Every structure is written in structure tokens, then in C-alpha cells.
Structure 1
Amino acid sequence: WLKALPKPVGVMCCNDLRGQNVIDTCAIAGLRVPEQVAVIGVDNDELICSLTHPPLSSVNLNPENAGYQAAELLDCLMQGQRPANQIILNCPVGVVTRQSSNSEAIEDRDVAEALHFIRAHAMQPIQVSDVANELCMSRRHLYRKFDKTLGRSIHDEIRRTRIDQLKRMLTETDLSISQIATKMGFSNITHVSRFFRQEAQISPQAFRKQYGRPRDSV
């Protein structure tokens, strides 16, 4: 059935093991991943994801936070308290992007190269002009290509990529927000907090508390 699908196509699997199965099947069928078939799994099992060829992109379900939530409820019960009768949702952090779903699957090579440059420099405060200069192309022409291919501007893509990187650092590292701001080229913690709130509608401190393990936020 993979051969019968129109290309390029994306396949989201219910877990990483099934994602590995799909990638292996693509290899047997002679289908290129991600150029013809982009694949995403669920669970972010680093062992499975790293052993697939190419490495598998996967949804991080934020299991650490689920564990902390469960431990808090258990502690409440052990102290003889009755927890509130409510459903607690454990929201996933997002997609951990690896090679199985990278930008090379985009047909427009200029847009694919621009996305690769933006993602490779997610830690740096690059501008639209930096992307255009890298591709030796006018900003106007590149804007048109982005709008036609992705339906969004280069500026929006830069900000979205920076936010994704910030989210990963908030949930996957023990760095303080001040340290993250420095590493990502923000002038101070106020600047990074304002940027994050504008894009994510939540403060970095609140995001880390909700989606990451408890740790000092500043």
C-alpha cells in the first residue's frame, strides 16, 4: 500500500516500533525516506529512533510529567487526602524532529535548503536577509516561494523554529531560563520571556512547569 500512495506522502504511526516497521518496509519497496515517504512515530523511544535508518522523528508524549502527576496523586492518597475527581490531561511536548521527516521531502529545493538553514541555526537570532543571502536569492523571490510552498512567510518560519528550540531546551535540559536566553542569542531574560509569550501564549516558566520536570526556572 505504500507504493500505491501518491508521493511525496507523510505517514504517522501509532508508536515508534510501527514507525521502524514502515521505514524498513520502505527500504524493501525501494521508497526513499523522507524524500518520498516522511515518517513520524509516537513515544520518542530514543533507542528505536536512533537505530532506524534514517533516524525516526517521534512525538514526545512527556512521560516524565505524567509520572510526576501520578506521584503527586499517590502522595495525596498516602496522606489520607482525597484528590479532586477530575481528569488530568498530560499534553505531549511536540515532535522531536529527526531525519525521517526532514525538509528534503519538500519538492521546491530552494525552500528545502532555506528550511535546513533555518533549523541548523535555530540557536542564533538569524534574520530573513541571512536566509536569502545563504541561497543567493532576493528576499522578494524567496518570500514568494515560501508562500506558495508552505503558506507562511520566512519570518514566521524563523520564529516558529526558534520557539520549537526554546520548548525543547525548557523541557529537555536543566538550564535556567537566563542561561537559555544567553545560548540562543537573546539580550536578557525579559527579551526571551516576551518573545516566548507572544508566540506560545504562555510564559517560559509556566511552560516548563506544565510540560517539564520540576526544576528551578531562573
Structure 2
Amino acid sequence: MRIPDDIAVLGVDNDETICRLSEPNLSSLNQNIEQGGYDVAQLIDRIIRDPATPREDVMVMPTHIVTRQSTDIYANGDQHIAEVLKYIHENIREKISVDELVALVPLSRRLLETRFKKSMGTSIYDYIIQTRIEKVAQFLCEGMSVSEAALELGFSDIKNLSRMFRQLRGMTPSEYRRHVLHPER
């Protein structure tokens, strides 16, 4: 099987060395290890203060997926949709129009949109927006500012970006960045 053409592969722990040495580079769940450390320290403090404190598991929840080549496109049985997905992911930093995508495959616009929606469960336009917002979230998790992430992805209007981000993520990009980078606050 070819990765990511036939199957997408996602790892855990986001160990940069392992992820970058894999061919193709491995996408991975990023876990909030720092917050887990704080939670363990609080548990240890409670146990030291009161040895009768019940022991409990400390859960470290994932914060986001760090997308690399192993999931850049989703495994898709429709080769035309796979080609469109690949183009979207390779060119996500550019403005992509549906007409550009129609030119890639031997399908009419209507047929492409119908097959895409059936395969992906969303419209092409919404998929592009969701993918761009996911990329913004990834950049924010990597420490970029909102304006840097917006610039990197060609968003000319930060207010529009914030509105779309809030619709999809339930918070503004600044709130998301603060939440991911400083969860204890």
C-alpha cells in the first residue's frame, strides 16, 4: 500500500525525530505533555500533604494533529477526488478556486462537486476552508502569531480569518493559541 495515496497513517506523541525520519514523514497526535506534568505535580503535592489521598491516573489529552506527508491526502477510492485532495493540500497556502480543481480532472464541475461531497461529506469550498483553518491552527500550535499564520496562508483580512476560525473551532485564533501554548492559564 502507498502512503498516503492508499492509506493515511497517524502516529502519537509527535516525536520529531521519529516523525521526520519516517518516509513519508509521519503525521502525529500532539499531546499536551506540559499540562500532564503540571497535573502529575499537583497529584504528588496532594499525596505528600495527605498520604491517604487516593491514587489516580493522570490523563494527557491530545491537543491537535501535526500534519505531515503521511496524511497530506486522505485514502480515497476515487482517483479524481484523490488528485483534487492532493492538489488542495499541496497548494493550501494559495487561494484555490473550484474552477482550478475542475481543470485537473476530466469531470464537469457539477460531477466533481457531487462526487467530492459524496466522498468527503462536505463541499469542495468548505473543505478548502476547513483545511486552511486546520493549517492556521497547526501554525498557532507551533508558536506563530495569528498575523504570521494569516500571512503564511494568504489571509488578507484577519477579522475574516477570526470569524471563520471561531465558526469551526469555537474560539478565536488568539484564544486557541493561548489555550494550546499556555493551558494552565
TM-score > 0.5 by shorter chain: yes
1:177-188 paired onto structure 2 within 5 Å: 177-188=146-157
Q: Find out whether 1:100 has 2:70 as its counterpart.
A: yes
RMSD across aligned positions (CA): 3.0
CA distance in 1, matches of 2:137, 2:15: 19
Number of the residue aligned with 1:42: 12
> What's 2:51 paired with?
none
**What does residue 212 of structure 1 align with?**
181
Cα pair 1:128 1:155 within 8 Å, conserved: yes
Task: State the shift of 1:125 in Å.
Answer: 3.0
Distance in 2, matches of 1:33 and 1:42, equals 17
Q: 2:88 aligns with which of 96, 114, 118?
A: 118
| Matched residue, 1:22 | none
Aligned residues: 172
Structure 1 residue runs of 4+, over 3 Å off?
31-38, 64-67, 69-74, 87-91, 134-137
SS of the equivalent of 2:29 reads strand
Letter in 2 for 1:189: I
Structure 1, gaps ≥5 residues long = 1-30, 78-86
The residue number in structure 2 matching 1:198 is 167
TM-score (norm 2): 0.76
Task: Confirm or deny: 8 A CA contact 2:117 2:123 kept in the other structure.
Answer: yes
Change (3 A) 1:201 1:53: same
1:57 counterpart (27, 32, 45): 27
The amino acid of 1:209's aligned partner reads R
Could you tell me how far apart the structure 1 residues matched to 2:18 and 2:66 are? 13
Task: Point out where structure 2 has 5 or more consecutive residues left out of the alignment.
Answer: 47-56
Residues in 2 aligned to 1:65 and 1:123: alpha-carbon distance in whole angstroms: 31
- Distance (Å, rounded) in 2 between the aligned partners of 1:176 and 1:110: 36
Q: Please say which of residues 193-202 and 180-189 is displaced more in the overlay.
A: 180-189
Match of 1:165 in 2: 135
Query: One-letter code of the match for 2:24?
Result: P
Contact 1:54/1:99 (CA < 8 Å) preserved in 2?
yes
User: Following TM superposition, by how much is the alpha carbon of 1:107 offset from its aligned partner in structure 2, in angstroms?
Assistant: 1.5
- Counterpart residue type for residue 202 of structure 1: M
